Chain A
Amino acid sequence: MSFFPQLPSAVATRQRRARLSPALRAYQYNLLAYKRTWRGSVTTTFLYPVLYLAAIGVGLGHLIDHGSNQAVGGVRYLWFLAPGLLAGTAMQIATNESTFPVMAGIKWLKTYLAMLAAPLEVTDVLYGHLAWILTRVALASGVFLAVMAAFHTVPSGWAVLAFPAAVLTGAAFAAPVMAFSATRETDQSFVVLYRFGIVPLFLFSGTFFPVAQLPGWLQVVARCTPLYQGVTLCRGLVLGHLGGWDALGHAGYLLAMLVGGVLAARVTYRRRLVQ
């Protein structure tokens, strides 16, 4: 009995193989793996936005709106908060997905190594994973925007563009964090990254209150942070009060981070995976 009875000729097989770009094959792995394990991420993707908007937006917002809402631009606090949370959530999900899963790819599950033993290249592995992370961000951002609409916090038609803006915010974090993760030996550094990077950014980049509330020098720092760009961009689009040049400036900043991150990740991935 032969072990390979039904296979057509290798040449025909190879022609068919060429159809799917290699990076897409790496992406597909994540997609299929997610189909099997998606339940674990339901809370972060679907439940958190509802909880946050309900607790802080509606609950805390009620108190603020009864005082003076001049500080938040004269809109309801929930309107102010929601797009900020949208950008903040994009950042968090992007960072989550570009730290531990990258370590898993390299060390824990070694899925990257399995891909590299197949005919994939380092850049395929990188782009495939990055594309997958952005899919996760897009999924979460889409759900978040839908929840925002359900809370009646989407006054402007420009809000449609807040979706790509949120994904761009995620991308701006994902790429450099992937580059960083590929240089790490343990997941200890991820805890540090969260404690001293992501959490302060989340709290002080204009997500919950305008950066104008900060003392002078901190305002400058806050305006330079990447999440501030994402928050301002998303909020401006959702509320429809953003100037075109401002929007381009914020988007350009995020895009530069994405490109710089990808270039860095190409180097760190290759250094780590090809020895």
Chain B
Amino acid sequence: MSQRPRGPSDSFRHGPLAVSTSDEGAGDSAGTAVQAQGLTKRFGEFTAVDAVDFDIEVGEAFGFLGANGAGKTSTMRMIACLSPISGGTLQVLGLDPMRDGPQIRSRIGLVPQDDTLDLELTVRDNLYLYGRYFGLPRKQLRERVEELLEFARLTERADQRVDPLSGGMRRRLTIARALVSSPSLVILDEPTTGLDPQARHLLWDRLYRLKREGVTLVITTHYMDEAEQLCDRLVVMDAGRIAAAGSPSELIEQWSTREVVELRFEPEGHQVHGERLADLAERVEVLPDRLLLYTDQGDATLDAVRSRGASPIAALVRRATLEDVFLHLTGRSLVD
């Protein structure tokens, strides 16, 4: 990694993207990119975000997990200074979003849920014009655009219109666009929703690279594997509140057992078997199509199941994942 010149009183020292804040009174929040206390968002009678507290450290990848309507996007929009807060306090890069919105936005990159690309313009023009919104000088911007095209693997498409591009390409372009001003904080609202696995992995790779450069990433997602892959720490949101917080492994440790035994019987037998086997695991969950036994010793539990004479059609021992935590915390019923 190369080192860009930085001011002597630089408070963000975590990477080459770090932005000097010496002239902007980062104050005591050095090291903290986003700080929220009692943060609340109301739309009329409806409370979308209900007094949440969280701190996002500089240089970390921080995730907001939640079902649709859990309050993730509202939280994102407040951090991005797009939506005024209804209550509590919020500091972004040491500044007040209500007062310093444009200044904060000049230092963050936003990847919104919907790509806000101009479909009639070329890939290159989309990047260039967005850079002009930040007032970047033309020459510097033109060089920057070429770097970003390379980064997003869109160099060969640079002079094509956006309209015919695939979802994955558009997403990469939107991410590249968010980086045009070399932001120290990048906010990604469901970056990979609707993409195929190849496109998702390419995007994840690009996000890793950003993280290695010291960029703070704030990501909302409802994909658990994405959260496990990308996030150092995350919060699980449910109905506007934070249901749990921690690193992916901490959350699994705290809210789930180490392993899960999945058993499949004849469908009508699940309830009966669930009751019979309840004492073999810390927790048993009966689903319409299978039985989940939460346990720290998967193989031993499965042996115990078999020694009771239960003969499942299929049996599987797996490690617990964030998805188990998530479903445990937020329930299995459909939200919308």
Interface residues of A (CB under 8 A from B): 2-11, 13-14, 16-20, 22, 25-26, 28-29, 32-33, 36-37, 109-111, 113-121, 274-275
Contact = CB atoms under 8 A, between A and B. Distances in A.
Contacts, number: 124
Contacts of B23: 11
Contacts of A37: 120
B104 to A, nearest CB: 8
A113 B116 contact: yes
A117 B143 contact: no
Contact of B125 (A20, A22, A32): A32
Contact of B20 (A4, A11, A119, A274): A11
B19 A119 contact: no
B140 A7 contact: yes
A120 B133 contact: yes
Contacts of A26: 133
Interface stretch (B27-35, B76-84, B256-264, B310-318): B76-84
Contacts of B135: 16-20, 22, 25, 119
Question: What 9 pairs across the A-B complex have the smallest Cβ distances?
Answer: A118-B133, A17-B135, A110-B116, A114-B116, A119-B102, A119-B106, A2-B2, A117-B110, A119-B105
B147 interface: yes
Contact of B103 (A13, A32, A119, A120): A119
A7 B119 CA distance: 29
A243 to B, nearest CB: 46
B7 interface: yes
Nearest to B147: A3
B2 A5 contact: yes
A28 B140 CA distance: 17
B130 interface: yes
A117 B105 contact: yes
Contacts of B122: 36
B16 A4 contact: yes
A186 B110 CA distance: 27
A118 B130 contact: yes
A9 B120 contact: no
B82 A118 contact: no
A7 B132 contact: no
B134 A17 contact: yes
Interface residues of B, number: 52
A9 to B, nearest CB: 5
Most chain A CB neighbours (cut-off 10 Å) among B4, B43, B103: B4
Interface string B204-238: 00000110010000000000000000000000000
Nearest to A22: B102
20 contacts: A2-B213, A4-B4, A4-B213, A6-B143, A7-B4, A9-B4, A10-B20, A16-B135, A17-B106, A17-B136, A28-B132, A32-B125, A33-B118, A36-B121, A113-B116, A114-B133, A117-B82, A119-B106, A119-B133, A120-B133
Contacts of A22: 102, 135
Contact of A121 (B101, B137, B209, B210): B101
Given A17-B134, A20-B135, A29 B129 contact: yes
B13 to A, nearest CB: 14
A109 B116 contact: yes
Contacts of A16: 135-137
B150 to A, nearest CB: 9
Contacts of B118: 33, 109, 111, 114
A109 B118 CA distance: 6
Contacts of B70: none
A14 B43 contact: no
Interface string B1-25: 1101111000000001101100100
A28 to B, nearest CB: 6
B85 to A, nearest CB: 12
Contacts of B147: 3-6
Contacts of B178: 117
Contacts of B128: 32
B144 interface: yes
A229 to B, nearest CB: 35
A118 B120 contact: no
Given A2-B1, A22-B102, A275-B43, A110 B137 contact: no
B112 interface: yes
Contact of B134 (A7, A33, A111, A118): A118
A221 B103 CA distance: 50
Contacts of B6: 9
B114 interface: yes
Nearest to B143: A6
B247 interface: no
B182 interface: yes
A54 B213 CA distance: 65
Nearest to A110: B116
A270 B135 CA distance: 23
A120 B129 CA distance: 13
Contacts of B133: 25-26, 29, 114-115, 118-120
B151 interface: yes
Interface string B173-200: 0000010011000000000000000000
B137 to A, nearest CB: 5
Contacts of A19: 135
A11 B106 CA distance: 12
